[in-house]
């Protein structure tokens, strides 16, 4: 997502339009997945006020961690980017899950 945002700014008009469509399709897909999770009970209705806002929250949080990993890996050399991204995804999943936190 981070690279996509940067690429959109640098792209030709037609490419930028296609990238924006992909970005919009991603949001539609995320919102649909959240709706399904609410319907099947895997996502907590108590924690989700708006599927659209939740999709933005998930996307924004992961985007921030990806940006942090990119910045840290260029400065420090060895940075556990993959582990941090996996941990973030796990924590984000738990934050909306209907499963009790263990």
| pTM of the entire predicted model | 0.72
> For residues 38 and 86, what is the distance between their CA atoms, to the nearest angstrom?
23
Helices (H), strands (E): how many in the chain?
A: 4, 0
Number of domains comprising the chain: 1
> Does 92 map to a domain?
yes
Instruction: Report residue 22: phi and psi, to 5°.
Output: -65, -40
Better-predicted residue by pLDDT, 94 or 70: 94
Write out the two tokens for 30.
């995320």
> Does 59 map to a domain?
yes
Q: Which residues pair with 97 in a beta bridge?
A: 43
Please write the tens of the pLDDT for every residue from 61-75: 999 998 898 888 766
Average pLDDT in the chain: 83
Q: Which pLDDT does position 72 carry in this prediction?
A: 83
> Does 63 map to a domain?
yes
59 pLDDT above the threshold of 80: yes
Q: What is the dihedral of CA 43, 46, 51, 57, to 10 degrees?
A: -90
> Does 102 map to a domain?
no
> Does 34 map to a domain?
yes
Beta carbons of 31 and 51 less than 8 angstroms apart:
yes
- Domain region containing 43: 2-96
> Does 39 map to a domain?
yes
> Does 101 map to a domain?
no
> Does 91 map to a domain?
yes
């Amino acid at each position: 997502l981070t690279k996509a945002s940067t690429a959109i700014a640098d792209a030709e008009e037609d490419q930028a339009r296609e990238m924006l469509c992909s970005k919009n399709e991603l949001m539609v897909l995320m919102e649909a997945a959240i709706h399904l999770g609410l319907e099947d009970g895997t996502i907590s209705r108590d924690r989700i006020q708006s599927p659209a806002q939740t999709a933005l929250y998930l996307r924004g949080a992961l985007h921030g961690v990806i940006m942090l990993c990119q910045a840290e890996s260029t400065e420090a050399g060895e940075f556990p980017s993959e582990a941090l991204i996996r941990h973030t995804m796990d924590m984000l999943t738990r934050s909306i899950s209907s499963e009790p936190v263990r």
